[in-house]
Amino acid sequence: MAIEFTKYHGLGNDFILIDNRSSEKPILTPEQAVKWCDRHFGIGADGVIFALPGQNGTDYTMRIFNSDGSEPEMCGNGIRCLAAFLSDLEGMSRTKNYYRIHTLAGVITPQLAVDGVKVDMGLPRLLAGEIPTTLAPADAKVINQPLEVAGKTWDVTCVSMGNPHCITFVEDVAAISLESIGPQFEHHPVFPQRTNTEFIEVVSRDYLKMRVWERGAGITLACGTGACASLVAGVLNDKCDRTATIELPGGPLEIQWSEVDQRIYMTGPAERVFTGKY
Ligand code: ZDP
């Protein structure tokens, strides 16, 4: 049976979107998602995202499989793509410019704006037990703490945006050999759920450069949850302001950690590329 899909990307972080509104369960298995994401033998993507019926009074539910078939709790660039996809699906019947989306990281609210999609990403979580990491006692934060990886000591800060992130500030992001170091962070025994890994170069207090090694997807051109987590890490280490531009290989994201409600707001693009049947 042929299944319809639409390809979207947010700053080159690309996803296959599937209209799964008529059933509670993703219509693909994780194994199928791995095949669809293959860039040589499939469609090619960093993940597959399913638009499912809402739960607990939300408009829709998002589920995502990484390109390795694992299921993350949240996906920042992906939820902007989902909002654009839902708006396209609803077409003229769309009644509002935001969606309340049920995710494994809680309710996330993307809002359609003229310059892209602005997402209320919720509260960052900072306790070691919430990340999760064994780098500190479960009720302590991990801020600028030494971690031994690849024979070197890195000073890391850990933040959860629903999914785990390990952030390191470096002099020069271009000099990091992500392909070799990334997997060693991802699979380090102090991260029982593995981790996404971000390297950050501070250009100024409102401009950071980031490169990312994603859990379950490897090097990607952008990571929305990673950009949010990195801004939080920057504020905790007094390296940046609460509002900053994060430049990723695929382009910039605007991130704000609100002083009013302590929530994280992310603004960035979401673009449809093509539709097809598989
Ligand atoms: O946590 C994980 O396993 C990530 N690979 C999920 C995807 C994160 C994403 N790149 C983002 O933008 O937040 C989609």
Check if the beta carbon of residue 223 is closer than 8 Å to that of residue 13: yes
Both structure tokens of 67 = 């390109």
Strands 164-169 and 196-204: parallel
46-56 pLDDT, tens digit per residue, is 999 999 999 99
Tell me which residue of 269, 246, 276 sits closest to 78, measured CA to CA.
Answer: 269
Tell me: pLDDT of 1 over 90. no
Cα–Cα distance, 122 to 124 (Å, whole number): 7
Averaged over 263-274, what is the pLDDT? Answer: 98
Handedness of CA 35, 38, 40, 43 (dihedral sign): positive
57-74 pLDDT, tens digit per residue, is 999 999 999 999 999 999
- Could you say which of 37, 75, 158, 240 is catalytic? 75
pTM listed for this prediction: 0.96
Phi then psi dihedrals of residue 17, to 5 deg:
-100, 135
Tell me which residue of 182, 170, 165, 186 sits closest to 229, measured CA to CA.
Answer: 165
Averaged over 25-40, what is the pLDDT? Answer: 98
83-136 pLDDT, tens digit per residue, is 999 999 999 999 999 999 999 999 999 999 998 999 999 999 999 999 999 999
Ligand 1 pocket residue status of 225, Cβ below 6 Å: yes
Number of neighbouring beta carbons within 10 Å of residue 263: 14
Cα–Cα distance, 255 to 250 (Å, whole number): 15
Ligand 1 pocket residue status of 48, Cβ below 6 Å: no
Q: Which atom belonging to ligand 1 lies closest to the Cα atom of 220?
A: 10
* 260 DSSP 8-state letter: T
State in Å: Cα 3 to ligand 1 middle: 24
Outline where DSSP puts E strands in the chain: 4-10, 13-19, 47-53, 60-66, 101-103, 106-113, 116-120, 145-149, 152-160, 164-169, 196-204, 207-214, 218-219, 243-248, 251-257, 264-268, 271-277
Cα–Cα distance, 214 to 182 (Å, whole number): 8
Handedness of CA 27, 33, 37, 41 (dihedral sign): negative
136-180 pLDDT, tens digit per residue, is 999 999 999 999 999 999 999 999 999 999 999 999 999 999 999
Cα–Cα distance, 197 to 129 (Å, whole number): 18
Tell me the C-alpha to C-alpha distance, in Å, between residue 173 and each of 18, 186, 202: 35, 18, 10
Pocket test for ligand 1, best of 81, 191, 196 (most atoms within 8 A of CB): 196
